[in-house]
Chains A and B, each alone.
Chain A
Amino acid sequence: MRCSAVVLAIALTSSASSAEPAGEPNRVVVDGAQELGVVSSTHSMLTVSYARRLWQQRLYAEARLGSGYAYDLLETVGLGVLEVRLGAGVVLRRDRRVEVRIGWRVGDTYLHGSLNEQPFGLHTFAIQLAPTVAVRLASSWRLRITPVAPTLYWNQTYAGSMGLEAGVEYAL
């Protein structure tokens, strides 16, 4: 809780005179992720998301839709994955070239396919921390990297993963 307050304070007191171009409230993002399972399967994901900036671009909210593949390290399991996430966060640092953000995402991860030739489908609740760095490539394009994205899953039992995300972001 204290950490959250500090993060929020940093965000709100971050330079308002930053050189961020005015009027880029909407972003579309495509990113790929490799999420290493911790007491869970490992996921390879491709995700599309839409993000909207709020309150003088100091906060953001996002909606994400991802698809991918889940497997265990022994490759005895291979399942499809559909992820739906809603997220919100703060922009910690803004300047013309680099942005640093941190946010939370919550949503559903649906595992589907077959195990032992039996149809398998399972929804799990997921909550994820996403610290992200975005680097401007061109006027509307950014490269974004989330180096460590821990996720906690829950459906009767808990599981976790540690993800690495990389993608591109387009400002509408």
Chain B
Amino acid sequence: MRCSALVLATLLLGCRMSELDAPIGIVMRDLSDQDAENLVESARCWNLELGTQFVVGPDEQQVEAFYDKFTCSHGAAAQVQAGWPMRIAICPQEYWVTDQEPFRVLSHELGHVANIIGHPDNSLAVMRSGGYPFTPMFTEVDRQMFADANPGFAGVDRCDGVVRRAVRPGTNATIGHCVCDREEPLDLDQSISIVLGGYPETYVSRFQAALDCTNLRYGTQLVLDDSASTPQRAYVRPPGTDSCDGARKRLQEHGTVYVCSPASNGSTLFPYVAIGEVLGIWLSGNWITDDPELAKLGRAPIGCTDIVRDEVTGVCMCQQ
């Protein structure tokens, strides 16, 4: 059933705004590129976790997103109103009276488009303010409210582990991001590009040396590269730039890996830990323990096995 009544009437009558068994087209009217991308990413996260079918562009049922100053006067960053089409009215950001991220705001509003009414007590729920990066994006109460609002809906192509990230790489920290976290072995016979961000130059040079040593010993093709679009890429950031609260964490979506790893304490061996996070194993820079770890990935020392490492620079030389 499609409702053309007011939101208030919707609340009072229990009328559902959307039929989730069919696609819901998102039509963006004059949104900035940044807000449009945040909305698309928010929709992707709902599709991943709950199996909704938000699509970009017109469809039989659709929601229109646009800027609306009237919404600002209520003290809201955005709101959803029922009708045909449904509408997401977004207060232009210059009028936002509280410090909020567009991705969180728009993720929240899509929950209302998906028939969720009201807000839970849990402030980490998407239907409140949302949680921390590198933690599950949707909380149990989000899932429960969604199930209550859409009884019998099973969803398609759902991912059990949608994890929130602070920003999508390459977007200058303006677009939110979520990842369907699934561990899959990387192909060590293929190149793996590693993009470092937010580390001091001294750490980058030690990281480069550790990559070179790893490639020398195991014949891998780990490269520091922030431009090539290789199928296998790893984004490595320190906690401050990705808000992952200081702990090392790893997420993987197909061939793309996201690692949150603290900067070096000055040791030339420290970058090996981050490289291990990229590969999904525990590395220390000690070949005696690292060889068995690489063996888990089916990779024996196929390059140089007699390596001497400069303990100051971390640079390796092959003695053979």
Give CA–CA (A157, B67) in the complex, Å: 10
Instruction: With both chains docked as a complex, state the minimum distance between the C-beta of A105 and any C-beta of chain B, in angstroms.
Output: 19
Asked whether A39 lies within 8 Å of B97 as measured between CB atoms, the reply is no
Nearest residue in A to B98 (C-beta to C-beta)? A76
Which of B69-77, B113-121, B238-246, B303-311 binds A?
Answer: B69-77
In chain A, positions 69-116 with a C-beta closer than 8 Å to chain B are 70, 72, 74, 76-77, 79, 111, 115-116
Residues from 23 to 63 in A contacting B, C-beta threshold 8 Å: 37-41
- Assuming A76-B98, A157-B79, is B87 touching A120 (CB within 8 A)? no
Interface range for A: 20 to 34
- Cβ–Cβ < 8 Å partners of A156 in chain B: 66, 68, 70, 89
Report if B7 contacts A (CB, 8 A): yes
A118 contacts B by Cβ under 8 Å = yes
We find that the number of chain B residues with CB closer than 8 angstroms to chain A is: 21
Say yes or no for B235: interface residue by CB 8 A criterion.
no
Q: What 1/0 mask marks residues of chain B from 264 to 307 whose CB sits below 8 Å from any chain A CB? A: 00000000000000000000000000000000000000000000
Are A37 and B74 in contact, with the CB atoms below 8 A? yes
Asked if B95 is an interface residue, CB under 8 A from chain A, the answer is yes
Cross-interface CB contact of A159 among B70, B87, B94, B98, cutoff 8 Å: B70
Cβ contacts under 8 Å, B81 to chain A: 157-158
* Chain A residues with CB below 8 A from B8, complex form: 38-39, 160
Supposing A122-B70, A157-B70, A160-B8 touch, asked if A77 and B87 sit within 8 A by C-beta, the answer is no
- Chain B 49-80 against A: per-residue CB contact (8 Å), 1 yes, 0 no? 00000000000000000101111111100010
Considering the chains assembled together, what is the distance between the CA atoms of A118 and B73 in angstroms? 13
Chain B nearest CB from A158 CB (Å) reads 6
B203 within 8 A of A: no
| Per-residue contact bits, chain A 109-139, to B (CB 8 Å; 1 contact, 0 not) | 0010001101010101000000000000000
A118 touches B70 (CB 8 A): no
A70 and B79 contacting across the interface, CB-CB below 8 Å: no
Q: Are A116's CB and B68's CB within 8 A?
A: no
Determine whether the beta carbon of A70 is less than 8 Å from that of B73.
yes
Q: B79: which A residues are within 8 A, CB to CB? A: 39, 157
Whether a CB of chain B sits under 8 angstroms from the CB of A18 is no
Residue of A nearest to B6 (CB): A158
B25-71: which have CB < 8 Å to A?
A: 66, 68-71
Q: Does B96 contact A (CB under 8 A)?
A: yes
Tell me how far the C-beta of A44 lies from the nearest C-beta in chain B, rounded to whole angstroms. 15
B94 touches A118 (CB 8 A): yes
Interface residues of A (CB under 8 A from B): 37-41, 70, 72, 74, 76-77, 79, 111, 115-116, 118, 120, 122, 124, 153, 155-160
- A-B contacts, 7 of them at CB < 8 A, read A39-B79, A72-B74, A111-B73, A116-B95, A156-B68, A157-B79, A158-B81
